[in-house]
């Protein structure tokens, strides 16, 4: 029997076909896109170095105290699997170094090895997931004065260099074991609250630290590097050592990818516009999809103009092999597992929306300088039955359709999360 969802799809399919768009093709492409789901939404960027660890320092903040935060690796893995079961497609999990399996003892960041992440690798294999990795240079006493790789103290710089060297090696081992290149992303909190006099000195220190870090080479089939800059952070309002321009220059010169976090720019700056400006010169772009409200607030991603414009530029670039989509938000004021699902589904929806555009037609009008027609079509596309294609995609990929997944999160909260006290 044909379900209502299938009937709706048939109807929508016709409308898109009339415009020269093939929704089946769009769904095929979408299925091949994996997004990297950030582990840190599950426990407010706490990690497992010490029991009850809290995010501290680094100018990022998690607000809220909703019940059910994951306290152990087992809990976090169970929460992640719950989220993944409600997101269509096959995806990746993005880890921080601070989320290792350290047993009962404390392991310093310059002592971590692959054995601390074996648990995650085995879990990923069992669940058909892939992994990405991040060095963790915040929430640590050696980051307390606001500087890590650009610290004035040689000893502190060396400590962090050793940490990142180990993280890159671990990433390479992860990629090798999972037979899929692991992306290692580096973000550092370095910066100052007030106006510094020696910006150049700090940037030179950072450059030298990075040169040492990236002198170690790994096969691209095992790991790839990316660098993430920022405009400002809480406590680094006047100066951020690793700014966008700094890393843009460094990445291009050293054949490293660049991470664009959508919360790390001026609120009116278009991150979507950067794709075509950077792509011809760089080995790859990593997106940290986030939603800033007034500042880098890391709100849960929703289907808004900003994310649609980014998805459009990603799809139009026809360079999906060079673009990696990761999520980066943290909200502790609502059900954390539900937050993952909202953000991941919104990101996938934006990509599907972009894939359903009549590119040939729009391009034709643009080339003929027919800007009225271009604008009119773009506007009419907004009210085409996009939701019917999305629902059908969810149905085909065995995840709950439309609002149905919300109940599933409510049940999980009742049965699992609310018991974590």
What is the C-alpha to C-alpha distance for residues 133 and 137, in angstroms, rounded to an integer?
13
| Residue 32 and residue 351 in contact, taking contact as beta carbons nearer than 8 Å | no
Can residue 288 be called a binding residue for Zn ion (CB under 5 A)? yes
Q: Does 261 bind ligand RNT (CB under 6 A)?
A: yes
The answer to the question of residue 391 lying near Zn ion (CB under 5 A) is: no
One of 69, 274, 288, 336 touching ligand RNT (CB under 6 A): 288
Per-residue interface string for the shown chain with ligand RNT, residues 314-333, x marking contact by CB under 6 A:
--------------x-----
Pick one of 225, 313, 328, 413: the residue that binds Zn ion (CB under 5 A): 328
Query: Which one of residues 36, 77, 124, 134 is an interface residue with ligand RNT (CB under 6 A)?
Result: 134
Take residue 170 and report the two structure tokens written for it.
């671990």
Q: Is position 328 annotated as part of the catalytic site?
A: yes
Pick between residue 228 and residue 391 the one whose CB is nearest to ligand RNT.
228
Residue 228 interacting with ligand RNT (CB under 6 A) = yes
Across 54-74, b (16+ Cβ under 10 Å) vs e yields: ebebbbbbbeeebebbbeebe
Residue closer to ligand RNT (CB basis): 239 or 353 = 239
Residue 375: both structure tokens together: 């604008």
Q: In this structure, are residues 391 and 348 in contact, taking their beta carbons and an 8 Å threshold?
A: no
Round the CA-based radius of gyration of the chain to a whole number and report it.
Answer: 22
Judged by DSSP in three states, 337 sits in helix
How far apart are CB 144 and ligand RNT at their closest, in Å? 17
Catalytic residue list contains 184: no
226 near 185, Cβ under 8 Å?
Answer: yes
- The residue within the footprint of Zn ion, chosen from 79, 261, 391, 413 (CB under 5 A), is 261
Nearer CB in complex with Zn ion: 312/328: 328
Q: Please give the Cα distance from 5 to 2 (Å, whole number).
A: 8
Query: Is residue 40 a contact residue for ligand RNT (CB under 6 A)?
Result: yes
256 in Cβ contact with 281 (< 8 Å):
no
- Least gap, CB of 54 to ligand RNT (angstroms): 13
Question: Which positions ≥6 away from 10 have C-beta within 8 Å?
Answer: 2
Q: Tokens in use for 132?
A: 């990405």
**Footprint of Zn ion (CB under 5 A):** 261, 288, 328
**Footprint of ligand RNT (CB under 6 A):** 40, 45, 60, 134, 187, 228, 230, 261, 288, 328
Instruction: Give the residue numbers marked as catalytic.
Output: 187, 228, 230, 261, 264, 288, 296, 298, 328
């Amino acid at each position: 029997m044909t379900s209502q969802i299938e009937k709706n799809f048939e109807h929508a399919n016709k409308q898109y076909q009339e415009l020269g768009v093939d929704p089946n093709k769009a769904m095929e492409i979408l299925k091949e896109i994996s997004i990297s789901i950030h582990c840190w939404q599950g426990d407010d960027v706490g990690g497992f170095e010490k029991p009850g660890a809290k995010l501290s320092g680094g100018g990022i903040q998690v607000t809220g105290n909703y019940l059910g935060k994951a306290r152990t690796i087992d809990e976090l893995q169970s929460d992640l699997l719950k989220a993944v079961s409600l997101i269509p497609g096959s995806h990746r999990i993005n880890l921080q170094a601070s989320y290792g399996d350290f047993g009962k003892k404390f392991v310093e960041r310059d002592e971590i090895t692959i054995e601390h992440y074996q648990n995650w690798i085995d879990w990923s294999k069992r669940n058909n997931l892939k992994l990405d990795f991040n060095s963790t240079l915040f929430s640590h006493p050696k980051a307390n004065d606001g500087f890590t790789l650009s610290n004035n103290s040689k000893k502190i710089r060396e400590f962090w260099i050793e940490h990142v060297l180990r993280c890159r090696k671990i990433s390479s081992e992860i990629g090798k074991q999972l037979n899929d290149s692991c992306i290692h992303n580096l973000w550092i909190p370095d910066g100052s609250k007030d106006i510094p006099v020696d910006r150049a000195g700090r940037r030179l220190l950072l450059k030298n630290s990075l040169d040492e870090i990236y002198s170690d080479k790994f096969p691209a089939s095992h790991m790839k590097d990316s660098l993430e800059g920022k405009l400002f952070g809480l406590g680094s309002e006047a100066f951020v050592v690793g700014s966008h321009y700094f890393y843009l220059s460094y990445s291009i010169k050293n054949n490293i990818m660049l991470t664009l976090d959508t919360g790390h720019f001026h609120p009116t700056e278009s991150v979507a516009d950067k794709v075509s400006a950077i792509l011809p010169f760089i080995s790859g772009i990593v997106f940290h999809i986030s939603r800033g409200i007034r500042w880098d607030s890391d709100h849960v991603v929703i289907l808004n103009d900003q994310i649609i414009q980014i998805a459009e530029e990603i799809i139009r670039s026809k360079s999906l092999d060079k673009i990696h989509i990761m999520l980066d938000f943290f909200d502790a004021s609502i059900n954390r597992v539900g937050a993952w699902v909202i953000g991941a589904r919104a990101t996938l929806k934006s990509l599907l929306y972009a894939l359903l555009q009549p590119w040939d037609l729009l391009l034709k009008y643009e080339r003929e300088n027919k800007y009225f027609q271009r604008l009119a079509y773009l506007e009419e596309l907004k009210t085409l039955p996009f939701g019917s294609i999305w629902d059908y995609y969810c149905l085909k990929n065995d995840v709950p359709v439309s609002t149905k997944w919300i109940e599933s999160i409510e049940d999980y909260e009742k049965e699992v999360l609310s018991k974590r006290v």
